[in-house]
Amino acid sequence: MYRKLWLNGWIVVSAIIVVGSMGCSTYKGIKPIYPTHKGMVSSLQPILRWEAISDTNATYDIVIYERAGEQHTEGTSGVEWDRKKVYYRENIQGTSHKVEIPLKPNTTYLWSLRARKGENISKWSKLQIEVFTGISYHRRSRLFEFKSPPE
């Protein structure tokens, strides 16, 4: 009988956790338009697009990393991947940029952008994911991810 009560109690608690789980994601910084997070690009030299910030005199910086290795945690920033920088450009005018070098086919990349106006430079943009399970709250920030097409 105690075993049955324990099992029923565990089922109820598990149901509360699952039903009570809520999550959302928001952008910290500049919002990317293409590629979307975890999307696939159609070219090995994709055209990256993002929403403009309100200051029309600002320029943008872009960084692209090849995802390499395993997931790990970096302090309070949340979960990140081991990565190798493969592309970086500064002072881009406008809200799009064609990657000037071919990326590797069928590879996962992480990318971000930031705004620049003179000596004032914003932080790199990230996707912030927040999950509340009813018992605990987790917040993770990560770079935007995309996959290159096969050859």
Tokens found for residue 150:
């096969």
- Burial (CB < 10 A; 0-12, 13-18, 19+), residue 135, is exposed
In this predicted structure, the answer to whether residue 21 has a pLDDT above a threshold of 70 is: no
Task: Give the mean pLDDT of the chain.
Answer: 82
What distance in Å separates the CA atoms of residue 130 and residue 47, rounded to the nearest whole number? 29
What pLDDT, in 10s, does the model give residues 26-57?
A: 889 999 999 988 999 999 999 999 999 999 99
83 close to 66: Cβ distance less than 8 angstroms? yes
- Burial (CB < 10 A; 0-12, 13-18, 19+), residue 129, is middle
Give me the number of domains the chain comprises: 1
What pLDDT, in 10s, does the model give residues 70-122?
A: 554 554 444 555 889 999 999 999 999 999 999 999 999 999 999 999 899 99
Residue 20's domain is classified under what CATH number?
A: 2.60.40.10
Q: Which domain holds residue 143?
A: 2-147
Higher pLDDT, 62 or 141: 62
What distance in Å separates the CA atoms of residue 142 and residue 146, rounded to the nearest whole number? 12
- 98-124: string of b/e by CB count within 10 Å (b at 16+)? ebeeebeeebbbbbbbbbbeeeeebeb
Q: Indicate the helix (H) or strand (E) that contains 87.
A: strand 79-92
What distance in Å separates the CA atoms of residue 30 and residue 97, rounded to the nearest whole number? 14
Predicted pLDDT at 151? 82
Tokens found for residue 76:
């309070």
| Nearest C-alpha neighbor of 89 from the set 115, 60, 131 | 60
